[in-house]
Chain A
Amino acid sequence: MIVAEAPQPGSILEQVEASQARSRTSFRLKFAGVWVVLIGALLLGLWLTGNIDTSFIAEWGPFILLGAPITILLSVVSIILATGLAIIGAIARLSRNPYINGVASLYVSLVRGTPLLVQIFFIYFALPQFGIRLPSLLAGIIALSFNYGAYMTEIFRAGIQAVPRGQREAAQALGMPEGMVMRRIVLPQAFRIVTPAIGNDFVAMIKDSALVSTIAVQELLWRADTVGTRFFRTLETLLIAAAVYWVLTIVFSYFQERLERRMARGDR
Chain B
Amino acid sequence: MTGQRTMEPVRHPVTARHLGDVVARAVGVEKYYGRNHVLRGVDLEVRRGEAVMMIGRSGSGKTTFLRCINFLEEPTVGSIEIDGVRVDADPLHARSKAHLEQIRQIRIRSGMVFQEFNLFPHMSVLQNLIQAPVKVLGVAQHEAVARAEEYLAKVGLSEKRDEYPARLSGGQKQRVAIARALCMEPKVLLFDEPTSALDPELIGEVLNVMEGLAHEGATMIVVTHEMHFAREAADRVVFLEEGRIVEEGPPEKILNDPDDERTRQFLRRFLTE
Contact = CB atoms under 8 A, between A and B. Distances in A.
A and B physically associate: yes
Interface of A: 96, 164, 166-167, 169-178, 180, 184-185, 188-189, 192, 266-268
A175 B108 contact: yes
- Ranked 5 nearest A-B pairs via Cβ: A267-B164, A170-B118, A174-B132, A175-B108, A173-B112
Contact of B95 (A96, A167, A176): A96
Interface of B: 70, 72, 95, 100, 104, 107-108, 110-112, 114, 116, 118-122, 131-132, 135-137, 164-167, 180-181, 184
Contact of B118 (A96, A166, A175, A177): A166
Contacts, number: 68
Contact of A169 (B104, B114, B132, B164): B114
Given A166-B114, A180-B135, A189 B72 contact: no
A267 B165 contact: yes
A252 B137 CA distance: 43
Contacts of A188: 122
Between A170, A178, A180, A188, the greatest number of chain B beta carbons within 10 A of the residue's beta carbon is seen for A170
Given A170-B118, A185-B120, 5 more contacts: A169-B118, A175-B104, A176-B132, A267-B122, A268-B121
Contacts of B164: 266-267
A170 B136 contact: no
A178 B107 CA distance: 13
B107 A173 contact: yes
A260 to B, nearest CB: 16
Contacts of B95: 96
A175 B136 contact: yes
A107 B76 CA distance: 37
B116 A166 contact: yes
B131 A184 contact: yes
Between A96, A166, A173, A189, the greatest number of chain B beta carbons within 10 A of the residue's beta carbon is seen for A173
A151 B72 CA distance: 33
B176 to A, nearest CB: 12
Contact of B136 (A176, A189, A267, A268): A176
A138 to B, nearest CB: 36
B121 A174 contact: no
A99 to B, nearest CB: 15
A175 B112 CA distance: 11
Contacts of B165: 267
17 contacts: A166-B116, A169-B114, A170-B114, A170-B119, A173-B70, A173-B72, A173-B107, A173-B114, A174-B184, A175-B107, A175-B108, A175-B132, A175-B137, A175-B184, A176-B135, A177-B100, A266-B164
Contacts of A171: 120, 132
A267 B116 contact: no
A268 B135 contact: no
A267 B167 contact: yes
B104 A177 contact: yes
A256 B70 CA distance: 42
A225 to B, nearest CB: 46
A51 B180 CA distance: 71
B166 A267 contact: yes
B262 to A, nearest CB: 31
